[in-house]
Structure 1
Amino acid sequence: MRRRTLLGLGALGALGLWAARPTDHGRPHDAYFKDLNQLLQRDGGGIPQLIIDLDRLDANADLLATRLGPRPLRLVAKSLASGGLLEYLARRLNCSRFMAFHQPQLNQLVRLFPGADLLLGKPLPAAAALAFYQQLPHHLGFEPSRQVTWLVDSPQRLQAYAELGRGLGQPLQIALEIDIGLARGGFPTPEALGSALQQMAASPSTLQLRGLMGYDAQVAHAPFWVGRERALVESNARYQAFIQVAQASRLWPKSPLLNGGGSQTYPLHANGKGPLNEVAVGSALLKPAGFDSDLLHEHQPALWIATPVLKVLDGALPYLKGAQGVLQGWNPNRQRAHYLYGGNWQATPTSPAGLAYDHLYGRSANQERLVGSDATGLAVDDWVFLRPTHSEGTLGEFADLRLLRRRSLVGRWNPLGLA
């Protein structure tokens, strides 16, 4: 009797385990991606594409403009690394301020926008700043002493830039980076900032103070025991404490630059409160997958990687072909293996639904393998769509950017290069 009871319990346990197996997540392309699949079959050239949906980009830009109101915007070039894209957004948002993070691209921005106001988003070695001046075209009327603001994060870099300015024989405009809670460098306390200002004032220098820059990305990811509201209050209070120290210096300008924010936190600064007089935004306009959050829930994904399917095979694994029936019986999402043109992108498979990287097989930059069920309906020469995790770096992986407008491909933009 005891044996029969145990056998019965074992059978029930096995049935329960089988009932808990993965369900079939496969679905064909929805209407949006079905149309895009057909477009690319006609005009995709058979190679991976990076696609920007201009209608969604417009909606994101208009939402950003509405939220910021009259508060000045600075476009972040590293996340929007295309001359065409930056020009388009600069016109739509009436923006002539850009943030750069890479010396060669800084020189490119000068050529693209000779009337722009350029701010460095990270402190560069003095050697990189020197290279900027050495490569600067002189026929555009660009005035670096007025139009470029270098970021300085320490007394050592302050000294290096002072020496660079003297060597160049021209003034360098600087902003001082302050740590308002992110713990990623910059002057750590108001007292440290005050010492830096005394350092500048104590000796003749070619450095001109423009203002402060503080990045508050930590606010968007505040742990539950802190909470976002408290984190924002603390971050703004730290920023204000730095301002109070800076205002006591004779070097403090009449109209200082007080830069901050970012795509993750810009909605928190959109009410006009807080210390900032300028907000930097980039990724929110394309909304890659790494920027899915409740703060950006009204923004729409506007960037896709599209790539053709080269092969559709059963989902068998090397050395485990005999177990394929069991594997796909347990998990129907392993019924088919789809090999793509290219791969190893930092991106999430998006359409058809139910596709996933095969971590048992491994990743590939040549023929990426995605597993899925028969329900996806994918065939050879169909297209798969992936959503990049970040736009930063991704735009430069493609020769050009395809533009989608009202479900038609309407043009191309080139990415900014590294040279």
Structure 2
Amino acid sequence: MTHGYVDLNQLWRRLGEAVEAHPEALPTPLMVVDLDAFDANAADLARRAAGTPIRVASKSLRVPALIARALKKPGFAGVLAYSLREALWLHESDTSNDIVVAYPTVDRRALAELVASPSAAAAITLMVDDVAHLDMVDSVRSSKAVPVRLAIEVDAGLRLGRQHVGPKRSPLYDGPSVTALAKVIERRSGFRLVGVMTYEGQVAGVPDDVPGQRAKSVVVRRLKQASVSQLQARRAEVDEALAPYGPLEFWNAGGSGSVETSAGDPVVTEVAAGSGLLVPGLFDHYQSFQPRPAAYFGLPVTRKPSREIATVHGGGLIASGPVGDDRAPIPWAPPGLHLTGLEGAGEVQTPLTGHQAALLAIGDLVWFRHAKSGELFEHTTEVHLVRGSRIVESTPTYRGIGHAF
């Protein structure tokens, strides 16, 4: 999907009308989510999953109302949480009773809360890839009366000889290494193995159809194909190796950029997705789906250093990951604006160039997109949900309810 000048000018006017119609002045940076785009993205993710349930990756949302909204959509079930502390809150708030913590935890206080609550322990699954993770749980409990649900994460990277392509996560790679941990879990009282996770970040999280990078995109697509093929064979091997340890409740895989291939693996019972609901800048150039950006932040023009430059207040919301231009926010609406090479997106000001800069006046809002999903909402306590040209709800982020997970 291309985003033409007409479309982006219409977006600029629509969001501007929504802000102007609000009964009270809204502080900036002003965060909004377009519900029409959000809902369309949810429907498209469900279509791509073709009946395989989608677990909502809460890290990519970080707004309770949006997590709840996604869970109400057809095809979505359960939450993939960022941390155990977040998972405990999701359970306490009745957001979900099926929560998988995507990363191992060494938060002793949160673990103590988990083993002290039979209802939380029944709803939350911990991720492990080392016996030390089991030891950490046992160190905080005096009784094993409350069983702890566990999922084993298996490395999903592509192995090319000694090279490893993909996120550096679990040390477990093949059937023998996984079953070695499964044996320990089976013999240790107070634990129950219920699932497996394989996150193929080198497939799900890497653009493969980038304008101006044709040769690189071809290489990325070939690496993805090789990874999908290799991983399908390894999943089957690990699944067979785990058969003696009882039936698993779930096998989680993938992300927004790999929904089709992850769901197409016969071993996989559910896929994870979150970024595909908001579609940040890094998710613009995939062959597997058409982007519908849903999240924006607005900054006011506060200076006109020259006729050709408009300077907005703030703007330096840089995404995590390897340092590069693709981690910077994207000036989006009105179209035709660009960051400068000298200042880029700054903490206190961001100068913008381009032909539209001459048309902007002090007080006008410029709308940006963040490079990654979820991280945007760490910078605000409130998000405004927009439908058409109207703000229909203002809702707190995790920060807005006092949490910094």
How far off its partner does 1:118 sit? 0.6
Q: Could you say which residue in structure 2 is the equivalent of 1:196?
A: 181
Task: Work out the CA distance in 1 between the residues paired with 2:83 and 2:387.
Answer: 31
Q: Could you say which residue in structure 2 is the equivalent of 1:407?
A: 389
Opposite residue 279 of structure 1, the aligned amino acid is V
Task: Give ranges in structure 2 of 5+ residues lacking alignment.
Answer: 158-165, 209-218, 319-328
- Does residue 236 of structure 2 align to residue 240 of structure 1? yes
- Does residue 53 of structure 2 align to residue 72 of structure 1? yes
The change in CA–CA distance for 1:300 and 1:128 in structure 2 (over 3 A counts) is: farther
Report 1 or 2 for greater relative contact order, CA contacts < 8 Å, sequence distance ≥ 6.
1
Map 1:9-408; keep pairs closer than 5 Å. Answer: 30-43=9-22, 45=26, 47-93=28-74, 95-113=76-94, 116-125=97-106, 127=108, 129-133=110-114, 143-164=119-140, 167=143, 169-181=145-157, 182=166, 184-186=168-170, 187-201=172-186, 203-220=187-204, 221=206, 223-224=219-220, 226-248=222-244, 252-270=245-263, 272-314=264-306, 336-346=308-318, 347-361=329-343, 363-373=345-355, 377-408=359-390
Q: Identity over the aligned pairs, expressed in percent?
A: 24
Q: Note if contact 1:284-1:296 (Cα within 8 Å) is conserved in structure 2.
A: no
The change in CA–CA distance for 1:299 and 1:26 in structure 2 (over 3 A counts) is: closer
Opposite residue 38 of structure 1, the aligned amino acid is E
The change in CA–CA distance for 1:46 and 1:127 in structure 2 (over 3 A counts) is: closer
Task: Work out the CA distance in 2 between the residues paired with 1:125 and 1:144.
Answer: 17
Q: Note if contact 2:122-2:149 (Cα within 8 Å) is conserved in structure 1.
A: yes
Task: Work out the CA distance in 2 between the residues paired with 1:26 and 1:148.
Answer: 46
Q: Note if contact 1:344-1:363 (Cα within 8 Å) is conserved in structure 2.
A: yes
How far off its partner does 1:209 sit? 0.6
Report the TM-score when normalising by structure 1.
Answer: 0.79
Opposite residue 364 of structure 2, the aligned amino acid is D
Opposite residue 354 of structure 1, the aligned amino acid is G
The change in CA–CA distance for 1:92 and 1:204 in structure 2 (over 3 A counts) is: closer
Task: Work out the CA distance in 1 between the residues paired with 2:78 and 2:10.
Answer: 38
The change in CA–CA distance for 1:274 and 1:128 in structure 2 (over 3 A counts) is: farther
Q: Secondary structure at the match of 1:305?
A: strand
Task: Work out the CA distance in 1 between the residues paired with 2:189 and 2:312.
Answer: 57
Q: Secondary structure at the match of 1:298?
A: coil
Opposite residue 395 of structure 2, the aligned amino acid is W
Opposite residue 238 of structure 2, the aligned amino acid is F
The change in CA–CA distance for 1:379 and 1:46 in structure 2 (over 3 A counts) is: farther
Alpha-carbon RMSD: 2.7
Q: Which structure would you say has the larger Rg?
A: 1
The change in CA–CA distance for 1:259 and 1:164 in structure 2 (over 3 A counts) is: farther
Q: Secondary structure at the match of 2:151?
A: strand
Q: Note if contact 2:100-2:125 (Cα within 8 Å) is conserved in structure 1.
A: yes
Q: Secondary structure at the match of 1:93?
A: coil
Task: Work out the CA distance in 2 between the residues paired with 1:132 and 1:31.
Answer: 49
Q: Deviations over 1:38-59 (max 9, x none)?
A: 3324435352211100011111
Task: Work out the CA distance in 2 between the residues paired with 1:26 and 1:273.
Answer: 40
Opposite residue 268 of structure 2, the aligned amino acid is L
Q: Could you say which residue in structure 2 is the equivalent of 1:6?
A: none
The change in CA–CA distance for 1:262 and 1:380 in structure 2 (over 3 A counts) is: same
Task: Work out the CA distance in 2 between the residues paired with 1:178 and 1:189.
Answer: 8
The change in CA–CA distance for 1:166 and 1:94 in structure 2 (over 3 A counts) is: farther
How far off its partner does 1:76 sit? 0.7
Q: Secondary structure at the match of 2:73?
A: helix
Q: Could you say which residue in structure 2 is the equivalent of 1:319?
A: none
Task: Work out the CA distance in 2 between the residues paired with 1:224 and 1:85.
Answer: 32
The change in CA–CA distance for 1:196 and 1:300 in structure 2 (over 3 A counts) is: same
How far off its partner does 1:211 sit? 1.8
Aligned residue pair count? 365
Report the TM-score when normalising by structure 2.
Answer: 0.82
The change in CA–CA distance for 1:236 and 1:401 in structure 2 (over 3 A counts) is: same
Opposite residue 205 of structure 1, the aligned amino acid is S
The change in CA–CA distance for 1:96 and 1:158 in structure 2 (over 3 A counts) is: same
Q: Deviations over 1:392-415 (max 9, x none)?
A: 221121121111112222111211
Between 120-129 and 158-167, the greater mean CA deviation after superposition: 158-167
Q: Note if contact 1:26-1:374 (Cα within 8 Å) is conserved in structure 2.
A: no
Q: Note if contact 1:173-1:207 (Cα within 8 Å) is conserved in structure 2.
A: yes
The change in CA–CA distance for 1:246 and 1:29 in structure 2 (over 3 A counts) is: closer
Task: Work out the CA distance in 2 between the residues paired with 1:225 and 1:407.
Answer: 38
